[in-house]
Structure 1
Amino acid sequence: MVAATDARLLAELAGTAVDANILTTWTLSPQAPYPFGLQPPWKDMHVVPPGHCLIFNTDGTRPCIEQYWCPPAPDRDAQESRDRLRERMIEAVRVRAERSDALSCDASGGIDSSVVLALAARERNDTTAFTTGPAALFDEETSWGRVIVDATGVERWKTAGPDSFPHVFDRIDETLLRTDLPFAGEPVKMRSRFIAEAVSAATSGTVTTHLTGHFGDELFSSGVAHLRDLGLRRPLEVRKRVELLHARTRIPRRTLMKWATSRSSYHQSLQDFVRDGHTAPGWLSMESSIPPWVHYREETRERLGSQLEHATVSPLGTTAEQHETLSRLITSGSILRHESQIMAPAGIFVDAPFGDDRVVDAVLRSPIGKLQDPSRVKPVLLDAIGDELPQAIVNRTAKTDSTAAIWTGLTQNASRLRTMSTNMLAAQRGVVDEGMFRASLLGPHPPSLLPMSLWRTLAVEAWLRDNEGVRHQISVDPIGVNYP
């Protein structure tokens, strides 16, 4: 047995090849259901699941995988949950602030980043607040950023952009970072690099810990899966929430009621996914499905089904609400890991206090249904620590949709995207239909086409090209950052 923390390195050590059947699951949007979305796309390679560790025995027997963490039961009342979360968040920010030479924080005026900035400013009076964004969002980000900067008394506030802020898909046909797994953030990699250079300039090139609000949405945003947990316990509450969710998301009431009344086990839901190529309501708020341009072959079904034959796969949490939260964290954590690798050469080390294990533990102990209450915006977070924020941000309920920026980037980079969708390595391996994907990428975009569906396939193609050295490496020279 050979083990490593880098899948590409492990593949080189073991001499294994890419597994096209597993690679298919990396094209799913928003992600393949657990555990399929964790499987590295290499033959005969297995992953140590989250909350588990690989044990090497000194007696020479075969190594084994053991679980060292399991999610806690949602066993606290609302008041205790608020108190513990507040304590844990303050502690998470404090330990990160204390160990940093220089400290910077995002200042977009969103609830999550504002909480982090407010707590960081309490710990250090030399905290640098940082705001950036594309032209379509920059004025809004700056306006709301000023609200939290003024409220916290931060003296150093830097803004960067918007004219030099990279478009989505910029330099998609070139390599910035060779990742060991397909990187869903590939279309916005240049933004990560831009932010790293801008923060470095704002802190005079000092090695900096940059705190973000990452994982706030994953932990606190309202979803749908919790309806399953409430279905048999509180039917009147379910009906009320179905109406609220229908009004907010436009998901049909009948579909929402399927979530509430679904009683299929998680293992059964995975078997249904293998058979049909998409997830059914009950365990995740968003349906994961195979894009129409991806070949879902019988061989792929058998490959995925074999993972379910010898063991019953359990959900990540003790409730559907916990399972959805942890699924989101795993997906976003993988993206953040690669973004951090892009930013590190500039001396910027990204950290996310919301991802602290003690914070996650406090959130998971919240009462069932309280975490994802569709009648309020992030009630658990704001009840715990909203008094640290200006009332204007607490009351903020909407942000400008960033979808327009995605389609603008697509138009600006049509030539590069055409290059990426011609002579596709993913097509040569039988994963995608090249003509159908190119038509979906460069042709008219119906409302039903989610940008992440395109991103995932582009990430797979970029990863394959990097493995074969097809894309040119982007220079590490500074990209040029201007801020007032």
Structure 2
Amino acid sequence: MSGDVWFTILPDGESGVAAARLLRPWATETIAHHSGRPWLLGSWPDGLVTVGAAGARRVAVIGRCPVTVEALSARARRLRDIADVEAVAHGLPGSFHLIASVDGSVRARGTASGVRRLFHARVGGVTVAADRSDRLAAVTGAAPDERLLAAHLLASPLPYPLDDRCVWQGVEALPSFDSLLIDADGRVRTQRWWTPPEPQRPWREGVPAVRAALTAAVGACTADGGTVSAELSGGLDSTSLCFLTAHEQERTRPAGAKLVTLGWRSLDPENDDAAWAARAAARLPGSEHVTPAPDQWPLWYSDLPALTGDAVPTDEPGPWVRDGARMAALCRLMTGRGSRLHLMGGGGDELFSTFPSHLHDHVRRHPLAAYARIRTQRASQHWPLGQLLRQLADRRTFGQWLAAWAQGLTAAGPSSSALVRGAPSTAWGVESRMPPWATRDAAAAVRSLLREAAESAEPLAPQRGQHTALACVRTGGRGLRQLDQVTSRRGLGQAAPYLDDQVIEAALAIRVAERSTPGRYKPVLAEAMRGIVPDDVLRRHTKGEYSTDFHVSLRHNRADLVELFDGSRLGRAGLIDDAAVRASLLGVHPTPEGLRSLSSSLGSEIWLRARPAHIRPPSTAITEGAP
């Protein structure tokens, strides 16, 4: 199915019927409560929604999950009340929204990573939830929130804790760890459904759980048979998924099973990703391997004018527009070979590496082990000792760190010179700066958002290392969500098995400091894949670098970029200075750091230009008499 995929969730009352009338012009599908009133309304392909029913109890799984109607109905029979939903759904693999309707009450949630999200708003006097914020914005007439648009100049998807805010006025984003409860009268409250695991398991004890969870996640991708495709960059994350996919297809032999892998070559002759991808491909003889020729694989920032019409399918701004032409090429190459789903390695770095912030925890819990690790890493990476010690001595709470981030929002960032190497930050997260072309008003708006968050926001976990991993998982989840919105519109869904809830739980239950070891690259993932991925492929410990691709892409597409920011929508809104953007684009950038915020600003600009095209109902919709 091509076109936007979306759904709304309605309360089981007369007020929900009234709200459904307002939504019908956009919808092509509907599913009813036991009462006969509309429950789920939207537009989706066959197989995306599975509903189990037992009397007045309904449980729906929307997304990627190999559960059958019969099995889900058996689970529904175990429901005593709405509070039992998580218990009866326990163990279901995949990535999906979970929604229940029991005796007039509705409970709904997405995924911990935010790959599956929910939003809610008042529609016709009643609370309605949806997986796309723009559907709620369209029916309520909401306009973009300029403070949130300013925040998207920092990074998009937004960093925690701003990522729990919605870019549309009057539309609320449901925090990814919470579920939404709606009663028959349309009143709403939230309840925590997921709590991050305590990272207490030794890494060797955690490996079997990681292997089992990752196998189940990939199995959820291959269960429907047919052709699936997968990224094969040459890195350990994507390579592991390719071998695991082939292994699952061979083990379960679903109908018409086939694997197609996609690998593209960097423009940097020193980048060894392609060599490792070729080595892996040679060990996957039953699969088809696609390596696009240069004229089949566009540069970053290509074909930007094509995105300034009504072709932006995401409900919020995102940096994916840098890769818009590549996403189109990906869909063309993979759907042309019959692929229905494309697997990518997003989430692997977040789960199976450690961030420098873990050193702040490690030095307090295990000072001798931390000292040995710091000494080894400092020797290999030349960290300045004084700067590192100041980082480790920092005792700010999460709220104090947010307040300091707000204060330094427009300060100059670290030197981007390749010759100047500083110690890594061990703070609660990355203190993104406003780009040099942001206006004072934009900076003031973001500063106010951060200061408001500093008053009440809590870290995602007490330890900085675990908090940082979770924050990055959420950022990756929201990024995948946008990519899926882009490619699903062209008939190719996106999946990142590392970001499935069960994989996240298994990986983050392992002690933070043991997720990586100096001298070994991603030891947990490597051991989990032992016997599935060939040993010689698992021995890779390097990672490709793409600054050459950035420079070449910028040089070839500079004129289109400059033109795009001539009289920009962001400039008209008072959020950026077009002349400053132009100066940056025409300047000299020895490294990509000087234009790190370009993709976010570009995504926001193109998103704004495309908005008017998304407020008109399509011509294919449920007829007025439908339930």
Q: Same fold (TM over 0.5)?
A: yes
With a CA cutoff of 8 Å and minimum separation of 6, indicate the structure with the bigger relative contact order: 1
Aligned with residue 133 of structure 1, among 241, 261, 264: 264
Shift of 1:284: 4.3
Which residue number corresponds to residue 475 of structure 1?
Answer: none
Following superposition, the deviation at residue 374 of structure 1 comes to 4.4
Q: What is the SS of the residue equivalent to 1:388?
A: coil
Match of 1:208 in 2: 340
Q: Distance in 2 between matches of 1:32 and 1:340?
A: 17
Structure 2 contact 158–475 (Cα < 8 Å) conserved = no
Q: Contact 2:238/2:345 (CA < 8 Å) preserved in 1?
A: yes
Q: Which residue of 2 aligns with 1:16?
A: 142
Percent identical: 27
Determine whether 1:164 maps to 2:279: no
The reply on whether 1:113 has 2:238 as its aligned counterpart is yes
1:266 aligns to 2:412 (yes or no): no
1:429 equivalenced with 2:561 (yes/no): no
Checking the alignment, whether the CA contact within 8 Å between 2:147 and 2:446 is kept in structure 1 is yes
Which whole-Å CA distance do the structure 2 matches of 1:248 and 1:452 have between them? 26
Q: Deviations over 1:344-392 (max 9, x none)?
A: 2443222121112111100110013112444421122112224432333
Letter in 1 for 2:223: E
Whether the aligned pair in 2 keeps the contact of 1:227 and 1:259 (CA below 8 Å) is no
Q: 1:163 to 1:134 in 2, by over 3 A?
A: farther
Deviation per CA, 1:40-90, whole angstroms, max 9, x where unpaired?
Answer: 223343311111122112355x41122110101012122221121112112
Deviation at 1:7, TM superposition (A): 2.1
Bigger fraction of residues in helix: 1
Among 305, 308, 330, the alignment partner of 1:173 is: 305
Q: CA deviation at 1:307?
A: 4.2
Moved more, 264-273 or 14-23: 14-23
1:408 has 2:540 as partner: no
Matches of 2:489 and 2:170, distance apart in 1: 33
Question: 323, 328, 333: which is aligned to 1:188?
Answer: 323
Match of 1:199 in 2: 334
Residue of structure 2 in register with 1:473 after alignment: none
Say what the alpha-carbon RMSD is for the aligned residues. 2.7
Equivalent in 99, 103, 107 of residue 228 of structure 2? 103
CA deviation after TM superposition for structure 1 residue 292, in Å: 2.2
> Equivalent residue for 1:58?
184
Pick which of 157-166 and 291-300 moved more. Answer: 291-300
Which deviates more, 280-289 or 22-31?
Answer: 280-289
Alignment check: 8 A CA contact 1:222 1:374 kept: no
State the Cα distance separating 1:173 from its structure 2 match: 3.0
TM-aligned CA deviation for residue 249 of structure 1: 5.4
2:273–2:543 CA contact under 8 A, matched in 1: no
For 1:62-81, what aligned pairs fall within 5 Å after superposition?
Answer: 62-81=187-206
Equivalent residue for 1:89?
Answer: 214
Q: 1:244 to 1:188 in 2, by over 3 A?
A: farther
> Are residue 228 (structure 1) and residue 363 (structure 2) matched?
no
For 1:295-314, list aligned pairs within 5 A.
295-297=439-441, 298-309=444-455, 312-314=456-458
Q: What SS does the corresponding residue of 1:336 show, helix, strand or coil?
A: helix
What's the CA shift for 1:224?
0.7
* Structure showing greater Rg: 2
Give the 3-state SS of the residue equivalent to 1:99 in structure 2.
Answer: coil
Q: Secondary structure at the match of 1:55?
A: strand
Q: d(CA) in 2 for partners of 1:80 and 1:358?
A: 16
Where in structure 2 are the equivalents of 1:277-292 lying within 5 Å?
A: 277=409, 281-284=425-428, 286-292=430-436
Q: Do residues 146 (structure 1) and 278 (structure 2) align? A: yes
Deviation at 1:258, TM superposition (A): 3.8
Matched to 2:509, the amino acid is R
Which region of structure 1 is more displaced relative to structure 2, 366-375 or 189-198? Answer: 366-375
Hey, what's the Cα distance between the residues in 1 that align with 2:273 and 2:318?
26
Cα distance in 2 for residues equivalent to 1:239 and 1:352: 35
Distance 1:329 1:408 in 2: 30
Q: CA separation in 2, counterparts of 1:319 and 1:403?
A: 33
3-state DSSP of counterpart to 2:267: helix
| Count of matched residue pairs | 464
Seen in structure 2, the aligned counterparts of structure 1 residues 446 and 43 have a Cα distance that, compared at 3 Å, is farther
SS in 1 for 2:171: coil
- With normalisation by structure 1, the TM-score equals 0.87
Match of 1:381 among 525, 530, 539: 525
Decide whether the 8 Å contact of 2:569 with 2:609 is kept in 1.
Answer: yes
Q: How does 1:234-273 map to 2 (within 5 A)?
A: 234-246=366-378, 252-273=384-405
Seen in structure 2, the aligned counterparts of structure 1 residues 239 and 453 have a Cα distance that, compared at 3 Å, is: farther
> Which residues of 2 match residues 434-445 of structure 1 at below 5 A?
434-445=578-589
Of 584, 589, 593, the match for 1:449:
593
- Taking the aligned partners of 2:588 and 2:350, their CA distance within structure 1 comes to 31
Report the secondary structure of 2:291's partner residue. Answer: strand
Amino acid in structure 2 at the alignment position of 1:72: P
Residue pair 2:312, 2:610 contacting (<8 A) in 1 also: no
Q: Structure 2: which amino acid aligns with 1:79?
A: R
Alignment CA distance shift 1:247-1:332 (3 Å): farther
* 8 Å CA contact retained: 1:377, 1:397: yes
4+ aligned runs moved over 6 Å, structure 1: none
Distance change >3 Å, CA 345–CA 449, structure 1 → 2: closer
Match of 1:179, as an amino acid? T
CA offset digits 1:148-193 (Å, max 9, x no partner):
2333443433332233211100112332323210111111111111
CA contact (8 A) 2:197 2:508 kept: yes
Which one-letter code corresponds to 1:89 in the other structure? L
Alpha carbons of 1:21 and 1:9: their partners in 2 closer, same or farther (altered >3 Å)? same
CA positional deviation for 1:221: 2.7
Structure 2 vs 1, CA of residues 50 and 450 (structure 1 numbering), >3 Å: closer, same or farther?
A: farther
Which of 154, 163, 171 is matched with 1:28 structurally? 154
TM-score, normalisation: structure 2: 0.68
- Could you tell me which amino acid in structure 1 is paired with residue 365 of structure 2? R
- Residues 167 and 409 of structure 1 are in contact (CA less than 8 Å); yes or no, is this contact kept in structure 2? yes
Provide closer, same or farther for how the CA distance between residues 313 and 174 of structure 1 changes in structure 2, counting only shifts above 3 A. same
